[in-house]
Structure 1
Amino acid sequence: MIQQIYPCVPHHYRYELNKDFQFAAAHYIPDEAAGKCARLHGHTYFANVTVGGDQLDETGFLVNFSEIKKLIHDRFDHTSLNEHTDLFHERSAESYPTTENVARIMAELVQQYLDNKGNGAECLQIFLRETPTSYVVYRPKAGRA
């Protein structure tokens, strides 16, 4: 994986966890205004998930790195994002699988998992690179997805 420097998220937590991974996925944006992106095409996405918190769990983890990877990589790798109709649909632009929306959905999935852990950890940032020259940074408002 390419070693990258990600934008820092100001926070007050004692621990900050960052997990990098990549996944290959196809998508299309269901709007003719999207130009070429309205046709099915694929990317090798590079993602960084940033989690913050003060309390470690019973195993000494803020969150296990492998759990973060499972939430995103195992769900999206080698799929068509448009086929994840529980997350993306064609009814509104807020639900198209654009890089912006994929990053937001990733943050929501991570936060749902963290909320169930009960140690107060928060998803602080998703950095999602779609191509070598294009990426999105998503930060939940007020520390929430």
Structure 2
Amino acid sequence: MYELCIKSHFSAAHHLRGYAGSCEEMHGHNWEIEVFVGGDHLDDTGMLIDFRELKRLVAHLMDQLDHKDLNTLEMFRTINPSSEHIARYLYRGLAASLTDPRITVRRVRVFETPSCSACYGEEGGGC
């Protein structure tokens, strides 16, 4: 199994509904993300996927979140935009945009701060 990782970031505000603490108030983060994709077979150029293409797909997802109030976005109207839910949203969004059947999303890790992160993976991608 080959595995690639790219890192990206976005800045956004959010608050956690129903949370008893300071995170219940509107606040912001400079979120960092790590996206891992994997596959067993390389293409004719010896690559799983071109890093530029993977970055382009991830950038499209980041554009939907960057400099936004996450609570106002459709995908977070009924669930809290927690790090866990953001990781799942990014995972599923990237999985839906990958068209090459050789490649699967393994996991997405979202860092709310440099020392606090949440990870989401399916199908044995682990975290």
TM-score range, shorter chain: 0.7 to 0.9
**What is the identity percentage for the equivalent residue pairs of Structure 1 and Structure 2?**
30
The answer to whether structure 1 residue 81 and structure 2 residue 70 are counterparts is yes
Please name the residue that 1:49 is paired with.
35
Distance 1:118 1:107 in 2: 16
Q: Tell me which moved more, 51-60 or 104-113.
A: 51-60
Gaps of 5+ in 1: 1-12
1:136 match: secondary structure: strand
Q: Which deviates more from structure 2 when the two are superposed, residues 53-62 or residues 71-80?
A: 53-62
Unaligned runs of 5+ in 2: none
Query: What letter is aligned with 1:76?
Result: L
Aligned length in residues: 123
Q: More strand by proportion, 1 or 2?
A: 2
Structure 2 residue 23 is the aligned partner of structure 1 residue 23: no
Aligned residue in 1 for 2:96: 112
Distance verdict in 2 for CA 1:110–1:34, change over 3 Å: farther
Paired with 2:20 and 2:100, the residues of 1 have a C-alpha distance of 41
* 2:46 matches 1:62: no
TM-score between both structures, scaled by the size of structure 2: 0.83
CA contact (8 A) 1:19 1:68 kept: no
In 1, Cα distance between equivalents of 2:84 and 2:114: 16
